[in-house]
Amino acid sequence: MALDRCPDCSATLPEDARYCPACGVPVAPDAPIRLRREEPSPWAQFLDAAWDFFASVRVAVVLIVLIALAAIGGTLVEQEGLYQDWRPPELYYPARYGPLLGRLLMATGLTHTYTSWWFLTLVYLLVISLIVCSLQRLVPLHRALQKPTVEKHLGFLLRQPVQARLPAQGADPLAPLAETLRRRGYRVWREGKGLHADRGRLGRYGPYIIHIGLIICALAAGAKALPGVDVTHDLWVENGQTVALPGTRLAIRNNRFIMETYPNGMPKLFQTQATLLEDGREVLHHNIEVNKPLVYGPWWGPWEIYQASWREEPGIAHLELVAGDRVLGKVDLDLKSPAREYQVTPEVRVVVERYFHDFDLDPATGQPVNRSREIANPVFLLRFVGPDGQEVGRQALNVAIQPGVEARSVAEGPYALRQIGISSRWYTGLRARRDLTVPYMYGGLGVVMVGMYITFFVFHRQIWALDLGTEVVLGARTNKDRWGLQQEVRRIARALGGELTVGNGVERSPGSTGA
């Protein structure tokens, strides 16, 4: 006994359908032909059950909704790597959410939702569902579209959403209809008293093209977990310096970093005027800006270097050597890595005894220490040495790094260094990346978009006609755009001297459709 409507998608079924022409699900009772003489093995039974499970649209919808819910969970908790704090996760989360909740969130994986085992499990279950659903439906759909039933019962035609009646003229009343339909780009079959025509059947393949694209995207995203596929290096490069890209023969030189602001103080431009070197040879000059990365290498996996950040740091203290009120000479002390000693005048040498870039006294021992790794409170312990190598004085100098703050200093003996200025050191923060999944991901997205265009904008129109001797009855349906189909059938019917009888779901008495 044949079903009237598809149990899976509720599309109207042809009388003798074994597969639903809309979604491809087997509908006839004898459709899943499993001729087995003996009881199937438990393994085969399990595979059958698994296949049926993943082939269900309901299961797919439930998986989609579960993934959406899981993703919502991930947006409610700050994710590892996205929070703006220097602390590692095991310190950050207990501090942020309280010790109990913090540890609970970390244990359940909600702090890294999108790489957690349960999220990835859901995603790959959906990928399996995509593959099985597509295989299950694509093959029967293709068969049904290639070999349609041409001669239908009148009852089938009278159930179609758009219907028309044409006068039966001539020896072959279906011939002018066939001709008209062919001219409109339809594929036409004839069989006995029946005619079938269709156009835009490509639209029916659209969903499967989307699914293939999505599978490619999911595999590309999954490949990121493989070593070496997705590599990132953060580089801090001082103006004028060159830094090697680890693991490659490349190096990048920052010729100059510039920053521009709008009159209101908002940043306008961050730019690194960079040179790329390969084996020490200059291969590329590029001004790296936000939205304009440097790209070098083959199209399938180039290195891309992005403007990620910048930093200004106290660089060089400009000082003069004084004896009383007399200026004897000038000297520049590097605040990052000062030289061991500086010959300021032929008579006086300044020896850097000790240097603290962030001076503090350890409260426990009372010894001078560095409080952090920043250059935040630079202190020099200096010794002045005469031409004969004799020590002629000492000084402890606290260089002022903020404008408007005086340098502090304690000196013994006739000499002292006096600060007259300070200049900054500029670093550009570059992020070098090579992601081999990009072409596959973009390819997958391209396939998805082509599939979407085909699915949503190519309409599959199907027309059946029966020659009843006195008149020709025409029934038509489409998977989308019923309005457009109705317009087209009305035009065809009028051209052949007939009229539309049923359209847009509303039955009309003959004559009411005419303008």
Residues that bind another protein (CB under 8 A): 5-10, 22-23, 57-58, 60-61, 64-65, 67-68, 71-72, 74-75, 78-79, 82-84, 96-97, 113-114, 221, 232, 262, 264, 266-270, 289-293, 304, 306-308, 431, 433, 435, 438, 441-442, 445, 448-449, 452-453, 455-457, 480-483, 504-506
Minimum distance from CB of 266 to another protein (Å)?
A: 6
Give the nearer residue to another protein in terms of CB position, either 23 or 500. Answer: 23
Give the nearer residue to another protein in terms of CB position, either 364 or 515. Answer: 515
Minimum distance from CB of 75 to another protein (Å)?
A: 4
Minimum distance from CB of 1 to another protein (Å)?
A: 18
**149-to-91, 184, 188, 196, 255 alpha-carbon distances in Å:** 69, 21, 12, 8, 73
In DSSP terms, 306 is beta-bridged to 431
Q: How far apart are CA 496 and CA 201, in angstroms?
A: 25
How far from each other are the two terminal CA atoms of the chain, in whole angstroms? 44
Give the nearer residue to another protein in terms of CB position, either 339 or 449. Answer: 449
Minimum distance from CB of 159 to another protein (Å)?
A: 15
Non-local CB neighbours of 5 within 8 Å, separated by 6+ positions:
11, 12, 13
Give the nearer residue to another protein in terms of CB position, either 22 or 400. Answer: 22
Q: How far apart are CA 101 and CA 92, in angstroms?
A: 12
Minimum distance from CB of 7 to another protein (Å)?
A: 6
Task: Read off the tokens for 25.
Answer: 């699900």
**207-to-60, 97, 183 alpha-carbon distances in Å:** 14, 43, 28
Give the nearer residue to another protein in terms of CB position, either 47 or 101. Answer: 101
The Cβ-side half-sphere exposure at 155, using a 13 Å CA radius, reads: 6
Minimum distance from CB of 179 to another protein (Å)?
A: 29
**95-to-61, 98, 103, 261, 455 alpha-carbon distances in Å:** 38, 6, 10, 36, 50
Give the nearer residue to another protein in terms of CB position, either 56 or 242. Answer: 56
Please give the torsion angle defined by the CA atoms of residues 55, 59, 60 and 64, in that order, rounded to the nearest 10 degrees: -170
Instruction: Give helix 117-146 / helix 202-223 axis angle, nearest 10°.
Output: 150
* Cβ 304 vs Cβ 311: under 8 Å: no
Task: Read off the tokens for 458.
Answer: 């190519």
Give the nearer residue to another protein in terms of CB position, either 379 or 441. Answer: 441
* Cβ 23 vs Cβ 6: under 8 Å: yes
Give the nearer residue to another protein in terms of CB position, either 448 or 496. Answer: 448
Minimum distance from CB of 499 to another protein (Å)?
A: 20
Q: How far apart are CA 485 and CA 186, in angstroms?
A: 13
Minimum distance from CB of 10 to another protein (Å)?
A: 5
Q: What single-letter amino acid sits at 280?
A: G
Minimum distance from CB of 130 to another protein (Å)?
A: 11
Give the nearer residue to another protein in terms of CB position, either 134 or 398. Answer: 134
Give the nearer residue to another protein in terms of CB position, either 38 or 260. Answer: 260
Give the nearer residue to another protein in terms of CB position, either 180 or 273. Answer: 273
Minimum distance from CB of 404 to another protein (Å)?
A: 21
* Cβ 288 vs Cβ 305: under 8 Å: yes
Q: How many CB atoms lie within 10 A of CB 131?
A: 14
Question: Tokens 């072409």 sit at which residue?
Answer: 439
- Which pairs count as long-range contacts for 328-332, CB under 8 Å and 24+ apart, including other chains? 328/415, 330/420, 331/417
Minimum distance from CB of 139 to another protein (Å)?
A: 18
- Residue-wise DSSP of 57-68: HHHHHHHHHHHH
Q: How far apart are CA 297 and CA 280, in angstroms?
A: 16
